[in-house]
Structure 1
Amino acid sequence: MSGDLYRLAMTVLHPGYEGTSAPDWLRRALGDGLGGVVLFARNAIDEQLVRHLRAENPGTVIAIDEEGGAVTRLEVVAGSSFPGNKALGVVDAVALTERVGRQIGRMLAELDITLDYAPSADVNANPANPVIGVRSFGPDPELVARHTVAYVDGVQGAGVAACAKHFPGHGDTVTDSHLALPTVHASRETLFERDLPPFRAAIDAGVRSIMSGHLLVPALDPALPATLSRTVMTELLRGELGFDGMLVTDAIEMQAVADMFAPGEIAVRALGAGVDAICVGLSTEDSLHEIRDAIVAAVRSGVLPEERLAEAAERVRVLSDWYAAQQALRDKARGDVDEGVGLDAARAALTTDGRARLARGPLVVEVNTRFSKAVDPATPTGITAALTTLLPDTARVQMEPEGALPAFDDRPVVLVVHDAARHAWVRETVARAAAIRPDVIVVDTGIPAPAAGAAVHVATHGISRVSAQAAAEWLTGGLRAGGDQ
């Protein structure tokens, strides 16, 4: 038995933490060989924070969810400077997607962040999907594959590792894995034709990491979620698809797996299945040590081969070494500022039906659709702020799900909704508003549906600061659909 078993176990653990500064226990863990740290908006991320983390362990894999669009950790207060995947898929210009990916990579390179948990390579095959939606490039496998590659090339071209997620594909689900275990009801043939091509393309493009999805896929393994399945993680992903980079779990406190096993057992089972890094979205010193000790106990009892743990730890180190070797790319990327690319992409993605030119501040009714758990709760749609910048007398009210519409006066009315295609009550709300005010303007920031009876319909295909700005420009007459001035 090797003398550094505890250090091997620490290397494969990648926790997040509470608070705006790195706690003492995390610093101690980094000194003991902790292999990674996951950063969230709650951590007040800046260069000083990352410097403090690296002072304890220069090679630690510092990871973040920075997809652009609705999922941002660095720009959560104002909204992302980049539209999300769905908007990029609507434009369908791979060079533009690569430019966006490169600028996101550049932003992370400036902070010395190792790994971006992006892009979502999921094919959004089910319009009712509650957690992927606009995080996917779209419902077509070939489109998703080519934009996944472009995004990976952009991020990694800036010297930051990309991570294709959520293998083997979270697109054909009606359950959010944060809340329960989703099941993908598809044949093996459908999976290979629809869900796997983007991952295969990412592997061929040299993606450095892949994240597993907490999904039950009976056609692959009828008993275990993909994260815990050797059939899926090793036989399929490693064997058939040939991926040899770092495989990381989605956060193990998500109910899809947390309802089945304790955290330590999840970690042991995932490592045994072929995963290399265990993402723990929110950890404490005690919980981290419990998972570490469970891994060590599993090796000592023979449940988890030490060779498998050593292989996992080595893949974490290889990713860290790859990042260290990309310094020249990061230095170049820091000077490669493509400042307007996010807004250009958002303008090009805008689709509209009807005509509008707001000359006075409207009443903006924000229909408070609940976002998925992947989206930070502080993330704004940004529509009100963008309109207020152009029309200072803009007013705003919030409407709770399935609640009553506010009283309308003589001001123009802008109804901001999200994912009307997924929510019947949202469509009914639009119809009620249009019956009262046939001149209502509907802005959908998600997967849109036709706005029956509304005078104007605008689809941003995602939530971001620049998507809101593009919509506000169009509504005030400064921009034509598709980005033409």
Structure 2
Amino acid sequence: MPADRALESLANSTLLVPFRGTTAPRWVLDAAENGLGGVCLFAFNITGPEQLRALSDQLRAAGGDPLVSLDEEGGDVTRVWHSDGCPYPGNAALGAVDDVDLTERVHLSLGAELAAVGINLDLAPSVDVNTADDNPVIGTRAFGADPDLVSRHAAAAVTGLQAAGIAAAAKHFPGHGSTRQDSHHVLPLVDADLDLLESRELAPFRAAIGAGVHCVLTGHLLVPGLTGGGPATFSPAVVGELLRGRLGFDGLVITDALEMRAASADIGLPEASVRALLAGCDLLCLGASQYEDVVAAIRAAIVAAVREGRLPVERLEDAAERVRRVRSWAAEPAAAPPDPSVGAEAARRAITVSGALPALDRPLVVECDAPPGMAVGAVPWGLAEGFGPDVVRVGADGAPAGPEGADAVLAQAGPRSLVVVVRDAHRYPRTRALVERLTAARPDTVVVEMGLPVWRPECAAYIAAYSASRASGRAVTELLQGTWTGASTA
């Protein structure tokens, strides 16, 4: 049995920790010196590219080449560009275009930008097959609802990221796309037997593995017949038998954030960490708000589980070795340069227009606010960059706009053209009611959907962008202002 210091180092190597601030605190630097697996950065750690590069360099200078990771999916889920919006559209837009070369180029460029600021592990891409329109957590993060389409774009995204020297993590295994609950809050149900899982949820993971993905990230999901009453992250049947055995994955298994209620609400983070390691996970993503004291308690719980014989030391050593292999690979810099034009190209190609786009006269742009999901956070979206003072936001503090605001909007618009911008309107009855009142009074209204184009009102023209990224907002603005006219028609 290794000595306590050696066991603590092994336990450290399985941890992907958060911290507050734009420089690393002493406890993180000490942990890095003692084998820390890596850190997971969030928007509150990032003020700009120079600061992020300095932070990454500070972490590596502490020793051990820890993984420096974040969730940079492109599109709505962005950390590097959280203050302005992402210059690349997300997966739904890429799936709508359905050009795997474009998807690879987008991810190669995105990966090159991450590498330039010192990131070497991206907790992306999402390869979930989004078959539930009302899915509250995936939506535009998925390439689409067809397993074959998602599979070919999953492989392309992995290829692009890893060609830039960024270890990719296909998520959320075994698949979050058919759920109607958010695992940040509850344990979602994947209502599928093994045959359906095989043909639908697992197909993109097979494709990602075939493309050489270094990491797979588990989802905190309830899968009848496999996970018992707990999440997939704690299930040897999912991690060991399904992922390792059936799919043949020999790389690094990362957990989704263990602070999520679907994982640790009833048992606490130290116990959740031990159960994830027992199930076969290797790197424990702790979440956004678990700091020094909690990390120390988790490390102590792992060491105690080994000492008590509950967690075999060989399992801990195996996890540490898998982390070491990815750290070693990711320490080698890649020379891929970013392509500043590919984000705009992808955003434009994704846009479709239904109906005849009218000539606009001094348009009033009405943006219907929508609650941001936990994964997305408070990232700017919409057309304010291009239309400035001609934009009004209805709905407050992320609350869906309601129909009672229609009269005020119509009075403010007067004879001007009216453009109404929504995000996932199919999920918000009050937003739909507002839009229907506006379009009934003004049939010449243009409606822009920056989420999934599931619901379509009667209107003069309906624009689907498939993304609320900055790139997509700019592309829609160009279309409305007539500086770009190449959108496809539906």
State the TM-score, normalizing by the size of structure 2.
0.93
Q: How does 1:278-289 map to 2 (within 5 A)?
A: 278-281=284-287, 282-289=289-296
1:2 paired residue number: 2
Cα displacement (A) at 1:16: 1.1
Q: How does 1:214-253 map to 2 (within 5 A)?
A: 214-253=220-259
The answer to whether 1:135 aligns with 2:136 is: no
Indicate if the aligned counterparts of 1:69 and 1:82 stay in contact, CA closer than 8 A: yes
2:325 paired residue number: 318
* 2:450 paired residue among 445, 450, 460: 445
Distance, in Å, in 2 between the alignment partners of 1:322 and 1:232 is: 26
- What RMSD over aligned residues (CA atoms) do the two structures have, in Å? 1.6
Q: How does 1:147-226 map to 2 (within 5 A)?
A: 147-226=153-232
Cα displacement (A) at 1:359: 4.7
Task: Choose 454-463 or 162-171, whichever is displaced more.
Answer: 454-463
1:338 paired residue number: 339
1:53 paired residue number: 59
Q: How does 1:110-121 map to 2 (within 5 A)?
A: 110-121=116-127
Corresponding residue SS for 1:421: helix
Indicate if the aligned counterparts of 1:264 and 1:290 stay in contact, CA closer than 8 A: yes
Corresponding residue SS for 1:275: coil
Q: How does 1:330-409 map to 2 (within 5 A)?
A: 330-331=334-335, 333=336, 336-356=337-357, 359-377=360-378, 379-388=379-388, 394-399=390-395, 400-403=399-402, 404-405=404-405, 406-408=408-410, 409=413
Gaps of 5+ in 1: none
Cα displacement (A) at 1:19: 1.9
Q: Percent identity?
A: 47
Corresponding residue SS for 1:414: strand
Task: Choose 398-407 or 118-127, whichever is displaced more.
Answer: 398-407
* AA of the residue aligned to 1:292: R
* AA of the residue aligned to 1:382: G
1:25-75 per-position Cα deviation (integer Å, ceiling 9, x unaligned)? 222222222111001111025111111111112410111111000011001
Indicate if the aligned counterparts of 2:367 and 2:391 stay in contact, CA closer than 8 A: no
Distance, in Å, in 2 between the alignment partners of 1:194 and 1:295 is: 35
Distance, in Å, in 2 between the alignment partners of 1:356 and 1:135 is: 28
1:26 paired residue number: 28
Indicate if the aligned counterparts of 1:354 and 1:456 stay in contact, CA closer than 8 A: yes
* AA of the residue aligned to 1:120: S
The answer to whether 1:293 aligns with 2:300 is: yes
Q: How does 1:415-434 map to 2 (within 5 A)?
A: 415-434=420-439
* AA of the residue aligned to 2:446: I
Indicate if the aligned counterparts of 2:12 and 2:36 stay in contact, CA closer than 8 A: yes
Corresponding residue SS for 2:451: coil
Cα displacement (A) at 1:188: 1.1
Indicate if the aligned counterparts of 2:368 and 2:400 stay in contact, CA closer than 8 A: yes
Cα displacement (A) at 1:186: 1.0
Distance, in Å, in 1 between the alignment partners of 2:480 and 2:356 is: 8
Cα displacement (A) at 1:356: 3.0
* AA of the residue aligned to 1:463: A
2:312 paired residue number: 305
Task: Choose 308-317 or 16-25, whichever is displaced more.
Answer: 16-25
Distance, in Å, in 1 between the alignment partners of 2:37 and 2:237 is: 26
Task: Choose 152-161 or 28-37, whichever is displaced more.
Answer: 28-37
Corresponding residue SS for 2:476: helix
Cα displacement (A) at 1:450: 4.2
Distance, in Å, in 2 between the alignment partners of 1:381 and 1:61 is: 30
Distance, in Å, in 2 between the alignment partners of 1:312 and 1:46 is: 28
Distance, in Å, in 1 between the alignment partners of 2:278 and 2:131 is: 30
1:113-159 per-position Cα deviation (integer Å, ceiling 9, x unaligned)? 11011100100011110000000000000000000000000000111
* AA of the residue aligned to 1:348: R
1:254 paired residue number: 260
Cα displacement (A) at 1:362: 2.5
* AA of the residue aligned to 2:124: A
* 1:478 paired residue among 461, 480, 483: 483
1:359-389 per-position Cα deviation (integer Å, ceiling 9, x unaligned)? 5543222211112100021x1113122333x
Distance, in Å, in 1 between the alignment partners of 2:251 and 2:466 is: 32
Task: Choose 455-464 or 227-236, whichever is displaced more.
Answer: 455-464
Indicate if the aligned counterparts of 2:358 and 2:460 stay in contact, CA closer than 8 A: no
Indicate if the aligned counterparts of 2:443 and 2:458 stay in contact, CA closer than 8 A: yes
Distance, in Å, in 2 between the alignment partners of 1:357 and 1:215 is: 46
Cα displacement (A) at 1:204: 1.1
Task: Choose 448-457 or 1-10, whichever is displaced more.
Answer: 448-457
1:193-217 per-position Cα deviation (integer Å, ceiling 9, x unaligned)? 0000000111111100000000000
Distance, in Å, in 1 between the alignment partners of 2:29 and 2:446 is: 52
Cα displacement (A) at 1:241: 0.6
Gaps of 5+ in 2: none
State the TM-score, normalizing by the size of structure 1.
0.94
Distance, in Å, in 1 between the alignment partners of 2:208 and 2:158 is: 7
Corresponding residue SS for 2:394: strand
Indicate if the aligned counterparts of 2:400 and 2:428 stay in contact, CA closer than 8 A: no
Corresponding residue SS for 2:419: strand
Cα displacement (A) at 1:424: 3.0
The answer to whether 1:467 aligns with 2:469 is: no
Task: Choose 298-307 or 404-413, whichever is displaced more.
Answer: 404-413
Q: How does 1:65-104 map to 2 (within 5 A)?
A: 65-104=71-110
Cα displacement (A) at 1:478: 2.5
Cα displacement (A) at 1:112: 2.0
Cα displacement (A) at 1:190: 0.5
